[in-house]
């Protein structure tokens, strides 16, 4: 499947939240079947928790409130954001 291969190519270069990848694929392809996302998630190529953990770990100095807002703007669910931020060790 062309869309699946294109998605894998994008994910090879960097991690995306599901919503971000959805936007990227929609910009290139008219219709993106849900099966593409289901397959990427089942194989753990697409994982919002992993994306959020990596995003937060590289930007700890921004603070919890800013990161919460940034992740929400990238389409990460509030539940996932709270889960990741609650177990993050913040600098003193």
Q: What is the model's pLDDT at position 35?
A: 96
CA angle 10, 83, 41 (to 5 degrees): 35
Please provide the average confidence, as pLDDT, over all residues in the chain.
95
Q: Are 66 and 34 in contact (CB under 8 A)?
A: no
Q: List the one residue out of 75, 22, 86, 66 whose CA is nearest residue 48.
A: 75
Element (H, E) at 51: helix 48-57
Q: What is the model's pLDDT at position 70?
A: 97
Instruction: Summarize pLDDT for 22-80 with one digit per residue, the tens.
Output: 999 999 998 999 999 999 999 999 999 999 999 999 999 999 999 999 999 999 999 99
10 pLDDT above the threshold of 90: yes
Other beta carbons less than 10 A from residue 52's beta carbon: 24
Q: What is the model's pLDDT at position 51?
A: 97
């Amino acid at each position: 499947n062309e869309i699946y291969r294109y998605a894998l190519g994008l994910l090879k270069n960097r991690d995306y939240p599901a919503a971000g990848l959805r936007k990227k694929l929609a910009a290139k392809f008219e219709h993106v079947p849900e099966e593409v996302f289901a397959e990427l998630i089942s194989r753990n190529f697409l994982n919002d928790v992993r994306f959020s953990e990596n995003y937060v770990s590289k930007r700890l100095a921004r603070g919890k409130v800013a990161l919460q807002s940034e992740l929400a703007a990238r389409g990460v669910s509030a539940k996932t954001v709270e889960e990741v931020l609650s177990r993050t060790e913040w600098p003193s």
